[in-house]
């Protein structure tokens, strides 16, 4: 590949870069990880440009690469003890905010966001990625299965487990109101 190819490639990617960052941020949950994932996926896309060939949709192809980079990133993050959250799901539930006067204010509060983020951190990389794609991005289960490269049933199971963790930690707020 020549320098000219790189310039053309980067100009194509530029149109999708903001969307890629948003997706990476929604999956990883923090800005630095999202930047690393975008950087890694653009590099991977460039290295495997020949595989893009005649595929019609560049964004779909880039997304697939990004999701798999994010998965690898989450897996390596779990292996780092300083970042890995060892708290069991029950502990996350105990740190609940308790004094919000109504549901809307509760959801809008920073404490609530922190708590949702803490529950997301207890999810396995596959649970987190499949849930984020289904819940935040609105991708269908079949699309997620294709993107991540696992079966549709496996995708469902990961989403079910992710939802179970969220319900276990968050539902006590509603039931206690």
To which residue do tokens 């996350």 refer?
92
Residue 65 near residue 44, CB atoms below 8 Å = yes
Supply the minimum distance, in Å, between the C-beta of residue 159 and another protein: 7
Figure out which of the listed residues 117, 121, 143, 176 binds another protein, where binding follows CB under 8 A.
117
Stretch that binds another protein, among 59-67, 91-99, 151-159 (CB under 8 A): 151-159
Supply the minimum distance, in Å, between the C-beta of residue 42 and another protein: 5
According to the binding rule CB under 8 A, does residue 70 interact with another protein? no
Figure out which of the listed residues 96, 100, 146, 156 binds another protein, where binding follows CB under 8 A.
156
Stretch that binds another protein, among 54-62, 94-102, 150-158 (CB under 8 A): 150-158
Stretch that binds another protein, among 57-65, 92-100, 101-109 (CB under 8 A): 101-109
- Enumerate long-range contacts of 166-174, CB under 8 Å, 24 or more apart: 166/116, 166/119, 168/89, 168/90, 168/93, 169/89, 169/92, 169/93, 169/96, 169/115, 169/118, 169/119, 169/122, 170/93, 170/115, 170/116, 170/119, 172/93, 172/96, 173/96, 173/97, 173/106, 174/103
Residue 62 near residue 22, CB atoms below 8 Å = no
According to the binding rule CB under 8 A, does residue 72 interact with another protein? yes
**Cα–Cα nearest to 18, from 38, 44, 40:** 38
According to the binding rule CB under 8 A, does residue 83 interact with another protein? no
List of residues contacting another protein (CB under 8 A) = 6, 10, 13, 17-18, 21-22, 25-26, 29, 31, 34-35, 38-39, 42-44, 46-47, 50-51, 72, 76, 103, 106-107, 112-113, 116-117, 124, 126, 134-136, 140-141, 150-151, 153-154, 156-157, 159-161, 163-164, 166-167, 170-171, 174-175
């Amino acid at each position: 590949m020549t320098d000219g190819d790189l310039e053309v490639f980067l100009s194509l990617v530029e149109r999708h870069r903001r969307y890629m960052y948003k997706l990476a941020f929604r999956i990883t949950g923090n800005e630095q990880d999202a930047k690393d994932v975008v950087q890694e996926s653009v590099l991977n896309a460039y290295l495997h440009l020949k595989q893009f060939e005649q595929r019609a949709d560049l964004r779909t192809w880039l997304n697939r690469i990004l999701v798999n980079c994010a998965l690898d990133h989450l897996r390596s993050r779990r292996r780092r003890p300083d970042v890995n959250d060892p708290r069991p799901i029950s502990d996350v539930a105990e740190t609940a905010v308790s004094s919000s006067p109504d549901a809307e204010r509760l959801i809008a509060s920073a404490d609530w966001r922190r708590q949702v983020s803490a529950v997301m951190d207890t999810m396995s990389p596959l649970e987190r990625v499949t849930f984020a794609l289904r819940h935040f991005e609105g991708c269908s289960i079949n699309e997620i299965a294709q993107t991540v490269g696992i079966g549709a049933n496996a995708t469902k199971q990961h989403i079910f487990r992710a939802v179970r963790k969220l319900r276990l930690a968050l539902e006590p707020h509603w039931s206690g109101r």
